[in-house]
Amino acid sequence: MLEKTIKLDQNLGIQIMRRLDALSLFSEGGDGVTRRFATKEHRQAAEMIQSWMRDAGMEPHVDAAGNVIGRYQAITLDAPALIIGSHQDTVRQGGKYDGAYGIVAPISCISALNDEGVHFPFAIEVIAFCDEEGVRFNTTLLGSRAIAGTFDMDGLENTDSNGVTMSNALKEFGTNPNEIPDLARNPNSVLGFVEIHIEQGPILEEEGLALGVVTAIAGGTRLSARITGLAGHAGTVPMDRRNDALTAAAEAILAVESYCSKVPGLVGTVGRISAAPGAVNVIPGDATFTIDIRAGDDNLRRKALNDIKVEIKALCVRRGVEIEMGTIHESDGCQCAPWLIDQLDAAVTTSGHPQKRLISGAGHDGMAMEYITDIGMLFIRCEGGISHHPAEAISVADADAGAQVLLNFIKNFKPQT
């Protein structure tokens, strides 16, 4: 019976795309979708998601952090749960699919299971995490941290750009933030966490694949660098007597690019730079910039950081300028569990797709969920690798393919013993 439902022509994909369109209307305005944490739009989305969950045979509620949680009961009550989910929030002027697809697709899968009256020895919980992007309060992974028991309660006093504290925003949203510590899950009640998400990169599209299984979420280090040279008159200081901070920074930036280009699995970016005094006729005496280095393999990233720092220091000595570098952020990579990777791979194959494994260069809720359970991720192709932009797009066929694979995965899911 179930097999027949699965093979109906992309009917899950069509439902998913319609629902993603509907969800995208809860937006603060402007191009694309802007839906921040604990706003009116978040509340509207939460109500709609809960109604879909009810239709799919789940019992939904909104927790103290603003996560929407729907539970599809197991054959026996109080069985441990497989958690599947993604985030409801977006960046400013983001797209319809980043996060939202990973909420809507599993609800459609559960709906298909519910239509057939299929239940399992394990429960399934779909979670629409309240805030992954961190746009409103500059703190990421709020929802998944609450579930993992690593939510920073001091952060409730952080304010948004209008001076509203997170605590008051949540009260306005309709929850009691003091209850957030109670949301921490007992790891024994959770069998694993799986997220399905758009790739946000071009690899699947370039290889003509609809889906890929994620092996790791890349770790990252962000440095701030400041080069101090000597400001001087642009007309009177000869070229061979200069201590130009900005040209030294330019060489350092190219060194980052050159090093990272030669090492597979490594990416490096300088996203910000400023020069002082910043006048057209003055040799820059001061340049500050950032360096962002990421890799799925932590050792590769650490070696790269070390090598790049040595190279930049050497070029600064040669150019007669001083350099200071400090770490402003560091997170280790997060490995997906081999047993979940294998079961996702099997679901991809069973659904008739070629196997593909890849690394996620972007951060995801799994980084917080890893604290309490094993994690797995599935990526679906997105057009041009574009995300965090109104032009974000997926096809109906791929929306359907992701849901079919997820459904196959759930049907054959074997908790690790």
Footprint on this chain of Zn ion (rule: CB under 5 A)? 98-99
**Shortest CB 98 distance to Zn ion, Å:** 4
* C-alpha–C-alpha distance, residues 141 and 37, integer Å: 11
Q: With contact defined as beta carbons under 8 Å apart, do 96 and 137 qualify?
A: no
CA quadruple 414, 381, 218, 216: dihedral, nearest 10: 20
What is each CA distance from 101 to 90, 183, 286, in whole angstroms? 12, 24, 45
355 backbone dihedrals φ, ψ, rounded to 5°: -75, 140
Q: Is 328 left (phi over 0), alpha (psi -120 to 50) or beta?
A: alpha
Q: Is 141 left (phi over 0), alpha (psi -120 to 50) or beta?
A: left
Our CB check for Zn ion shows the closer of 128 and 403 to be 128
Our CB check for Zn ion shows the closer of 66 and 99 to be 99
Our CB check for Zn ion shows the closer of 35 and 242 to be 35
Our CB check for Zn ion shows the closer of 85 and 99 to be 99
Judging by DSSP bridges, how do beta strands 375-380 and 190-198 pair with one another?
Answer: parallel
C-alpha gyration radius of the chain: 24
**Shortest CB 185 distance to Zn ion, Å:** 21
**Shortest CB 17 distance to Zn ion, Å:** 18
* C-alpha–C-alpha distance, residues 72 and 58, integer Å: 5
Residue 277: cis peptide before it, omega within 30 degrees of 0: yes
**Shortest CB 97 distance to Zn ion, Å:** 9
> Per the structure block, which two tokens stand in for 90?
């977006």
> In this structure, how many other beta carbons lie within 10 angstroms of the beta carbon of residue 290?
15
**Shortest CB 370 distance to Zn ion, Å:** 16
Q: Quote the distance between the C-alpha of residue 130 and its chain's center.
A: 13
Our CB check for Zn ion shows the closer of 79 and 406 to be 406
How far is the first Cα of the chain from the last one, in angstroms, to the nearest whole number?
Answer: 29
**Shortest CB 210 distance to Zn ion, Å:** 18
Our CB check for Zn ion shows the closer of 83 and 283 to be 83
**Shortest CB 99 distance to Zn ion, Å:** 4
Our CB check for Zn ion shows the closer of 20 and 305 to be 20
Our CB check for Zn ion shows the closer of 140 and 221 to be 140
**Shortest CB 170 distance to Zn ion, Å:** 21
